[in-house]
Structure 1
Amino acid sequence: MSSLTQGGIIGLMAMVLFLTGMPIAFALAITGLISILIFLGPEQLELFGKMTYDSVNNFGLLAIPLFVLMGNLFGGSKASTQLFEAGEAWLSRIRGGLAMSSVAASTLFAALTGSSAATAAAIGRVAVPEMEKRGYSDRIATGAVAAGGTLGILIPPSVTLILYGIAAEQSIGQLFAGGILPGVIIALMFCIWIYIAQTMEDRSTNKHLASLAEARKARQERTYSWAFRFMSLGKTLPFAALIVLVLVVLYRGIATPSEAAAIGALLVWVLVTVIYRDLTGKQLMKVLLESTNQSTMILMITAFSAVIATILSYLRVPQDLAAAVSEADLNKWVVLLLINLVLLVMGCFLPPVSIIVMTTPILLPMILAQGFDPIWFGVVMTINMEMGLITPPVGLNLYVLKGIAPHIPLKEILLGSLPYIFVLTIAIILFSVFPEIVMVLPNMLY
């Protein structure tokens, strides 16, 4: 049996277990155990424990629970409301400005949390009800928040980029730097689409509201003085300064990613509990428990995904797949297109964490063989993972929005999010044609 056939069997086995509805970490663990029994032999079963331990015995992974804690401390406070209010004060007079403000708030929130689901949940709780009051359609309101939430896995600090850096043995600092400019550009592209979508809706004759005049009246924004705008902006400055501080400490080599995460978590705790006096004892305990649960889930998925990746490496699946692609003599852009299509399909069923850990050891040899930069590919791969967060049937952000706004049909949330998949596709094409957009900051800082 060829190595590629063996790899296909392992992938099919994992997919069948996923479809049963069991937790992904357990499905990966069972797949790993059965794969060892079938392909390596019962006498090698003890390797499962060793592989599991080795996969998480990495100091770099300590950054994950610390960044999760940092994000949950921030998300548990009223800071998300302040971010949205600042965005609303500055953007509300623009057509679709309230939806744009949710994207702007998500961008800054993402830079503090590194979690797409947390970003969508925190901003959505504030933004969706406000947009409904102003006459925004369900599609525009939920689509903007769901798409804005995807920025959580791209704008640093990003758990996804940390895992890719560890799996690909690349600099996490460079990956963080590579995610900044694409994240900002994608946020601007989201805002452009919101303006276009709102314009088309205003001109449509098939609206829920009786006329264009009524639509504009219902969406009449509040009037904000310049003093209020700058005051609202000032409330966000401590968190913006915190982001800059963490990134400077990381990029200047003063601290490792794990140490920078510890500094960030400590400073966020000081901000929300000591300065803002926002989290009480019970709320703080709840945040700690949520952070423990989320970190455990992520690390379990990471461990068992790494087991499968190690087994595939033992079977020489990555090497033989890379060789097969080289022998096929395909154009490197065709190879990149095929890789992105595979990742997109996987993203419809699996969370980014498991996809990154499982596929990076397989895809990296192919990418390097085609002459692509591994830092650039890590950013492009993460953008692809963003699509999976708003793509059915397992688009996490779709269900987060459904939980926030249960009265809005899931179909409307899905239809509102679909255009952003095309926006992200355009972004991938843009960064593929002009890779220097991704690499300018990593090259400048390193």
Structure 2
Amino acid sequence: MSHELIAITMFATMLLMLLMGQRVFAAIGFVAASAALLLYGQGAIEMPFNAAFKLFNWFPLMTLPLFIYMGYILSETRIAEDLYKMFHVWFGNIKGGLAIGTIGLMVVISAMNGLSVAGMAIGASIALPEMLRRGYDKIMITGVVQAGSSLGILVPPSVVLVLYGMIARQPVGQLWLAGAVPGLMMAALFIIYIAVRCRIQPHLGPTLSREELDVPMAEKLRLLRAGIIPFLIFFFMTGLFVMGITSLVESSAVGAASATLAAVAKRRLTLQIFHQTVKKTLGISCMFLWIILAALAFGAIFDGIGAARAIESLFITRWNLSPWEVLIMMQLSYLLMGMFLDDTAMLVIVAPLYVPLVKVLGFDLIWYGVLYTITCQIAYMTPPFGYNLFLMRAMAPKEITLIDIYRSIVPFVLVMALALALVMIFPQLALWLPNYIYGK
């Protein structure tokens, strides 16, 4: 059997298992182990051990459980809920103000968590019912929550960029900084769209009633303090790292410790909440570890049979595509896979093939990490099986149907596509900040 046929068989088998509902790490690991035994015999049993040691020697991986813990502790102790009350009061007199405030809330949650799931849970459970109760259009605000929650995988500290950094062998600190400006730019584009749309069609995002807006300035200032804690946590976590005072792992520990101290100071950290937080953190962290372990074994097999070089030869030599045409094809393949897989599965399946190709084409791997992440955000919201679509379906009130959810994402996907195009055309949007901080 030729190397090309082996690669196609492995890839097709893995996709078939995923479509049959198998867990991501089980499908990837089974295919990798089976192929290794068939190709290399008994010696292949050492591959998972080598992958495990490689995994545990990669110190930035220690940041994953700490960031996940930080996000859950802030969510479970309702500090995020306090933030929404602040946005509610300060933006309620603007048309579409609560929707704009929801995007602001999602940016803050993203900066404290690094995952889209936490933002989706908070937006669907806190922001969505409040906006529905105040007469906001259900289709628009459903899109707002989905689009805002997707910022979690782009705004630092992004867990997805940590995983990309491991697979692409790129510094996580530079990847975080590269995602900051595009992430804030995308949030700004969302806000501009909401403001313009609600200006043209005021019934989509009405202002609050006079009774709700009649809040004393002292109360407004008290609620404003709700934003101080997240800001301080983000400053101590990311600011100290950017200034070179703490390492990446130390900054994640600072963030986790700061979030815990904030919950204790507000007298909201009970033994039950702590137990639930640790349990959820352990579950998510172990899932990521198993997926990465399986991906390393799978990538070793693919690299060993020359699959990456075969794809390079196909795109560049046989099809004679230009570097930009190859890059666009790669992004389109992510969009296609995103209809069926989540971002982690896409990354561990395709990155071992694409990253060497991106390097050969002469593109910056830090910049490409941002492109990948934005494309994942779009894929999250692409029918028929976008990850965020089904999360929203599970969390949304009964009056929001699946058709409403599909309709809600159209304008926000277009905004994301615009952001992706801008970062592709102007790479400095992603590269300026890491180059400035690291003195390149």
TM over 0.5: yes
Contact 2:48–2:293 (CA under 8 A) maintained in structure 1: no
Residues 377 and 287 (structure 1), Cα distance of their counterparts in 2 relative to 1, 3 Å cut: same
Q: Which residue of 2 aligns with 1:264?
A: 255
Q: Which residue of 2 aligns with 1:53?
A: 52
Extract unaligned runs of 5+ from structure 2.
Answer: none
CA distance in 1 between partners of 2:303 and 2:270 (Å) = 48
Q: Which residue of 2 aligns with 1:7?
A: 7
Q: Which residue of 2 aligns with 1:432?
A: 424
Q: Which residue of 2 aligns with 1:206?
A: none
Would you say 1:34 and 2:38 are equivalent positions? Answer: no
Q: Which amino acid aligns with 2:240?
A: V
Contact 2:60–2:172 (CA under 8 A) maintained in structure 1: no
CA distance in 2 between partners of 1:433 and 1:75 (Å) = 37
Question: 1:226: how far off?
Answer: 4.6
Q: Which residue of 2 aligns with 1:287?
A: 277
CA distance in 2 between partners of 1:312 and 1:416 (Å) = 39
Extract unaligned runs of 5+ from structure 1.
Answer: 203-211
Would you say 1:396 and 2:396 are equivalent positions? Answer: no
Contact 1:306–1:358 (CA under 8 A) maintained in structure 2: no
- The equivalent position to 2:367 in structure 1, one of 356, 373, 376, is 376
The correspondence of residues 334-413 of structure 1 with structure 2, limited to 5 A, is 334-407=325-398, 408-413=400-405
Q: Which amino acid aligns with 1:54?
A: F
Between 1:80-89 and 1:435-444, the stretch displaced more is 80-89
Q: Which amino acid aligns with 1:134?
A: R
Question: 1:193: how far off?
Answer: 2.1
Q: Which residue of 1 aligns with 2:243?
A: 252
Q: Which residue of 1 aligns with 2:309?
A: 319
Question: 1:400: how far off?
Answer: 2.6
Q: Which residue of 1 aligns with 2:186?
A: 186
Question: 1:201: how far off?
Answer: 4.8
The correspondence of residues 20-419 of structure 1 with structure 2, limited to 5 A, is 20-38=20-38, 40-57=39-56, 58-199=58-199, 201-202=201-202, 220=209, 222-223=212-213, 224-272=215-263, 274-327=264-317, 328-407=319-398, 408-419=400-411
Q: Which amino acid aligns with 2:248?
A: P
Q: Which residue of 2 aligns with 1:16?
A: 16
Provide the secondary structure at the position in 1 that maps to 2:409: helix
Provide the secondary structure at the position in 2 that maps to 1:297: helix
Residues 133 and 43 (structure 1), Cα distance of their counterparts in 2 relative to 1, 3 Å cut: same
Contact 1:302–1:354 (CA under 8 A) maintained in structure 2: no
Between 1:315-324 and 1:59-68, the stretch displaced more is 315-324
CA distance in 1 between partners of 2:310 and 2:98 (Å) = 51
Provide the secondary structure at the position in 1 that maps to 2:383: coil
Question: 1:86: how far off?
Answer: 2.1
Would you say 1:421 and 2:420 are equivalent positions? Answer: no
CA distance in 2 between partners of 1:7 and 1:199 (Å) = 53
Question: 1:313: how far off?
Answer: 0.7
CA distance in 2 between partners of 1:307 and 1:379 (Å) = 25
Give the number of equivalent residue pairs. Answer: 433
Question: 1:2: how far off?
Answer: 4.1
Contact 2:339–2:379 (CA under 8 A) maintained in structure 1: yes
Question: 1:435: how far off?
Answer: 0.8
CA distance in 2 between partners of 1:230 and 1:339 (Å) = 49
Give me the identity figure in percent: 28
Contact 2:92–2:207 (CA under 8 A) maintained in structure 1: no
TM-score normalised by the chain length of structure 1: 0.92
1:215-269 deviation line (CA, Å, top 9, x unaligned): 7778647315554444322221121121122112222333332221112111111
1:344-381 deviation line (CA, Å, top 9, x unaligned): 11122222122223322211222122221111111111
CA distance in 2 between partners of 1:357 and 1:226 (Å) = 51
Question: 1:88: how far off?
Answer: 2.3
Residues 34 and 392 (structure 1), Cα distance of their counterparts in 2 relative to 1, 3 Å cut: farther
Residues 226 and 444 (structure 1), Cα distance of their counterparts in 2 relative to 1, 3 Å cut: farther
CA distance in 2 between partners of 1:55 and 1:346 (Å) = 27
Contact 2:37–2:45 (CA under 8 A) maintained in structure 1: no
Contact 2:33–2:297 (CA under 8 A) maintained in structure 1: no
TM-score normalised by the chain length of structure 2: 0.93
Between 1:409-418 and 1:85-94, the stretch displaced more is 85-94
Question: 1:316: how far off?
Answer: 1.3
1:158-192 deviation line (CA, Å, top 9, x unaligned): 11111111111111111111111111110011112
Residues 394 and 75 (structure 1), Cα distance of their counterparts in 2 relative to 1, 3 Å cut: farther
Provide the secondary structure at the position in 1 that maps to 2:381: coil
Question: 1:84: how far off?
Answer: 1.4
Contact 1:325–1:366 (CA under 8 A) maintained in structure 2: no
Contact 2:93–2:207 (CA under 8 A) maintained in structure 1: no
Residues 195 and 216 (structure 1), Cα distance of their counterparts in 2 relative to 1, 3 Å cut: closer
Residues 161 and 199 (structure 1), Cα distance of their counterparts in 2 relative to 1, 3 Å cut: same
Between 1:249-258 and 1:309-318, the stretch displaced more is 249-258
CA distance in 1 between partners of 2:167 and 2:409 (Å) = 30
Residues 225 and 323 (structure 1), Cα distance of their counterparts in 2 relative to 1, 3 Å cut: farther
Between 1:323-332 and 1:430-439, the stretch displaced more is 323-332
